[in-house]
Structure 1
Amino acid sequence: MTAISFEFFPPKTDEQRDTLDKSVAKLVALKPEYVSVTFGAGGSTLNYTHDTVVALKREHALDVAPHISCMGGTRAEIKSLLDNYVAAGIKRLIALRGDMPSGMAAFGEFHYASDLVKFIRQETGDYFHVEVAAYPEFHPQAESAEADLKHFKHKVDAGADGAITQYFYTPDAYFRFVEDVRKLGITVPIVAGVMPISNYSQLRRFSEMCGAEIPRWMAKRLHAFGDDAESIREFGAEMVADLCYKLIAGGAPALHFYTLNRARATLAICERLGLSGA
């Protein structure tokens, strides 16, 4: 059985909280290995993140991995955050550089995710299982493919236990990335990040921001559906399930679904994959 995990974002309103609660209630039946919780640029939702992490662990008995970023504060503030997560019994973290908040001229005390991973190890030893980000289609700000691979190696050398990829829709991008990092002597698991499709305009916007490629044929098909949301969902579920089949067959150790706090699209894919949680 292929291991799966889910990403959520922390709700800010009662309506968002209700949506997340309903989605989690449906997705826990799939028995995820863990779930992750994001936070916004500059730590703007950091308190919401901590509260969401604690609530998911307490109310659903989930193993929860909060995102922690170079934008999350000073060394002292991040140390305090680590201490709080240790006290709460949190055993996983996802360490990221994070995006520069609008209006900020420079990074804080940590410039790169590798610096953050190193600090986590210095302060907490091997207590946390630490994941980092990987970019099969390369980070949009990378100087070159080679430079991006070197940056990834720095994160692993700093003490990362594994990596979760940015989403992608071309399986060869993932397989080639794994092949390239293995040539660099990197042996940690590279989990495939998966983005379900339920809204094409939203997907296009996300992809432009993060540098993920939507293949031309796929974009044409999605565009042709216009406002037919049901057809988009059906096509998206079939297409992403096929991608997941190929990833699993090719040796991907696990799948990490970017749920956007919704259950329907992720459930449709997992049903097609036979991942019932039973």
Structure 2
Amino acid sequence: MATTTEYPQLSFEFFPPKNDKQQETFERSRDQLAELGPDYMSVTFGAGGSTRTRTFETVRNIIEATGVPAAPHISCMSEDIDSIRDLLDDYRDNGIDRLVVLRGDRPSGGGTGVFDHAVDLVRFIREYYGDRFHIEVACYPEHHPESKTPEADMKHFRAKVDAGADGAITQYFFSAESYFRFVEDVRSRGVDVPIVPGIMPITNYSGLARFSRMCGAEIPLWIAKRIEAWEEAEDMTSLRAFGEEVITDLCRRLLEGGAPGIHFYTLNRWKASTALCRNLGLGKGNEAKRNIA
């Protein structure tokens, strides 16, 4: 069910809002980014029942308000098989065609979900739903923080593709070389699915550092030192201008090197992603600025 387009794929990730203020922020960002005509918007997923409901509600909100296809994340951390089947049935019955399948964060109280790994959930979806869903999975150019070795990490990714994944979205990174090395390694093993770079805009230091520690993403020292100094000096204008320049250059190198598109981790904000798309000539209204071969 994969689609091909003349231009690089463009997609945005959101998280489900938890209160009225977050809902207002989300809807503003949703509308602004929808104007760029993305291929889809994805929505993150939590392990608890209430967060699952919010994911579904947010997916429907996107589709109904904008007409942009939406892809819910679905996690192994559900409590039982029936809850996963019910969720997948709901997505199927509501015309949702794309899923982002992840292992997910383990519940704070410990324990595991129905499946140990994302590959098991991919296999389950293919067994019971055939090709009904386009399945995206995660991959890690700088390696998953829980992997014992890079080789083990690569085997896990290959297994997800062999189980039926149609494509992959990377964890965010700041080194184009890391992405290209990863893709070269993957291709040498006969894996040919599209691997879309996941990109985190730089808009502050403290939040970026916190997220990066959690997910094992490496912030190069030359970036970290500058944005940390600007944040401490409360010079957010300089920080954001620098961040825009750095990420624009990263994305341009990725696209010129053959990356099939860009997936932005928006954190439910629109300004940084919109500026990056404008600089790169991505999305509706920016075509005249597109100079990527």
Shorter chain as denominator, the TM-score bin is over 0.9
Task: Summarize deviations over 1:222-251 as a string: whole Å, max 9, x none.
Answer: 122122111111111110000000000110
- 1:38 alignment partner AA: T
Comparing 230-239 and 134-143, the one that deviates more:
230-239
The number of aligned residues is 277
- 2:106 alignment partner AA: M
Task: Summarize deviations over 1:120-175 as a string: whole Å, max 9, x none.
Answer: 11111000000000000000000100000000011111100000000000000000
- Whether 1:94 and 2:93 are equivalent positions in the alignment is no
Aligned to 1:205: 210
- In the TM superposition, residue 195 of structure 1 has moved relative to its aligned partner by 0.2
Taking the aligned partners of 1:118 and 1:218, their CA distance within structure 2 comes to: 40
Taking the aligned partners of 1:79 and 1:129, their CA distance within structure 2 comes to: 17
3-state SS of paired residue (1:10): coil
- In the TM superposition, residue 73 of structure 1 has moved relative to its aligned partner by 2.9
Taking the aligned partners of 1:43 and 1:234, their CA distance within structure 2 comes to: 40
- In the TM superposition, residue 44 of structure 1 has moved relative to its aligned partner by 5.0
Aligned to 2:235: 228
- In the TM superposition, residue 41 of structure 1 has moved relative to its aligned partner by 4.0
Q: Please point out which of 61, 72, 75 is paired with 2:78.
A: 72
3-state SS of paired residue (2:141): coil
Aligned to 1:170: 175
- 2:252 alignment partner AA: Y
3-state SS of paired residue (2:35): helix
- 1:63 alignment partner AA: P
Taking the aligned partners of 1:129 and 1:18, their CA distance within structure 2 comes to: 30
Residues 123-272 of structure 1: pairs in structure 2 closer than 5 A: 123-225=128-230, 226=232, 227-272=234-279
Task: Summarize deviations over 1:17-64 as a string: whole Å, max 9, x none.
Answer: 110111111111111000000022445511000111111111111110
Aligned sequence identity (%): 57
Taking the aligned partners of 2:261 and 2:227, their CA distance within structure 1 comes to: 27
CA RMSD of aligned residues (A): 1.0
Q: Please point out which of 81, 89, 110 is paired with 2:87.
A: 81
Taking the aligned partners of 1:84 and 1:223, their CA distance within structure 2 comes to: 44
Structure 2: stretches of 5+ with no match in the other structure: 1-6, 286-293
- 2:246 alignment partner AA: M
3-state SS of paired residue (1:218): helix
Aligned to 1:117: 122
Asked if 1 retains the 8 angstrom alpha-carbon contact of 2:78 and 2:114, the reply is no
Asked if 2 retains the 8 angstrom alpha-carbon contact of 1:43 and 1:73, the reply is no
Q: Please point out which of 23, 33, 47 is paired with 2:29.
A: 23
3-state SS of paired residue (2:156): helix
